[in-house]
Amino acid sequence: MKSRKTLLASTLLFCFSTSTYAASNELPSLGDAASSIVSLQEEHELGRTWLRQLRAHARTIDDPLMIEFIESLVFRMIPHSGAPQQDFDFVVIDKKELNAFAVPGGVIGINMGLLLYTRDEDEIAAVLAHELAHLSQRHFARQIERAEQQQPIAIATLLASILLIATNNADAGFAGLMAGQAASIQSQLAYSRDWEREADRIGINTLAESGFDPQAMPSMFNQMMAASRIGDKPPEFLLTHPLTLSRVSDAAARAEGYTSQPRHLSFDFAILKNRARIRYQLTEATITDTFIREAEATDNSALTRNAAHYTLAEQALQQQDTKTALQQLKQLGESYQQSPASLALLAKILTATHQAEQALEMLTMALTYHPGSYLLISTRANVLADLGRPEEAVNSLRPLTEQRPTTPGLWFQLSQLAAKANNSVLAYRANAEYLFFSGESAKASRQMDLAIAAAAKQKDFQRQEALKERLKQMAASRKQLE
């Protein structure tokens, strides 16, 4: 028989490589009962292991604006969700399909393509509220309880098929599921429908208490069903979160019991949706014409027109047409010009036109109004480096790595800046962290060895010992699934 530790790890992959949840017919008893199956600390550790493996096998988007956008929605709902986790990690998958997931330990992710199917922030919040409900009800702990009653060969067969799904071979994966464990899968789907309805009910309540529109849950279901009818195959979310007509009608009935709220449409949502359209829907030949039309259409909302101008500015800068980029940005209304996204883009344009000092002054002022902004801090660090002040850039970015210690893109930026500042120890260490959280543990160990050697060469023995301790932590995490 498998050891309990291996079984926990295997079941974690089984449950969440595609965000599948089994279910119970009644509310699980929370607290001590769930913790006796698997503790919150075990969930946290296994969740972070899963996240590193995910990043090793899937393309992710380390976009500060996107990450902060998801954070703002989730953190608004967490106090009303009952989720027991204290620490959360967020990941955005570079895939156009409609999907989202929440992994034990507080790992929350979406496909970038989810933006293509949502009309406002409330609909995204509805998907995330549903996922938070799975966490609050400790569904993973109860799945472990059920998994421990299965034969090891059943879990192995399921895990092999789930891995096929995770590597973009969904048809083969489900063929393996059906061939290897048909009866078991049928039973689990029946259970999961119950848990899905439970997550819908709790998610609708979370939406209402967080100030989002409870009607966003059934309206998002309608969006999913429409996507299922249009596409060649159901959205990924529906493959792992079965959606039936009875479930849709049940969610609609429950939402009717709450007061409807105005929907939320922010500038960040609009420009991020434009990015998703460019990435997955529009062709290079149609991008400019599409957004020029949207910017000039008088029947469009002010938000749509301003988002189109921003997107045109962003596209122009990517093509090194700074004149057009600046002209488009100047078309924004005053309130839109003061958003962190617009200020960060303006700073990049100014830096590209040899006005980095002005960009630095503007970003420094902006941070007094938006302290802790990942987007503004990371942009400011790059401006400092462009001004030939890499040491200051490093010092400005390091506190952010303490606040966001598991964000690969942040560690990669710090590594690049430290190299420019000739800080070899930090450059190697930051690169090691980037590789580690990207799922490249072996490469991370080699970079950490270089950091330790560099610290020894500098006779910085205290730092050397700290790096050795961190290397031990990495090695322990690497062995977690062994």
Which residues are known binding-site members for Zn(2+)?
130, 134, 196
The CA-based angle 13-15-20, given to 5 degrees, is 135
Would residue 131 show up in a list of annotated catalytic residues for this protein?
yes
Among 43, 89, 131, 268, which one carries the catalytic annotation? Answer: 131
Say how many C-beta atoms besides its own lie within 10 A of residue 380's C-beta. Answer: 24
Find, among 64, 46, 18, the residue nearest to 409 by Cα. 64
Would residue 200 show up in a list of annotated catalytic residues for this protein?
yes
Amino acid identity of residue 68, one-letter, is E
Backbone angles phi, psi at 86, to 5 degrees: -105, -35
Looking only at the bridges linking them, the beta strands covering 100-103 and 89-93 are unpaired
Q: How far apart are CA 277 and CA 439, in angstroms?
A: 29
Strand order of the β-sheet with 100-103 is 89-93, 107-111, 100-103
Q: Which residue has the tokens 């500015």?
A: 313
The token pair that represents 202 in the structure block: 């709790």
3-state secondary structure of 279: helix
> Which residues lie below 8 Å from residue 111, measured CB to CB, with a gap of 6+?
92, 93, 95, 96, 97, 98, 99, 100, 236
Backbone angles phi, psi at 2, to 5 degrees: -70, 150
Looking only at the bridges linking them, the beta strands covering 107-111 and 100-103 are antiparallel
Classify residue 101 by its DSSP letter. Answer: E
Among 89, 121, 123, 200, which one carries the catalytic annotation? Answer: 200
The token pair that represents 309 in the structure block: 């101008």
Q: Which residues form the catalytic set?
A: 131, 200
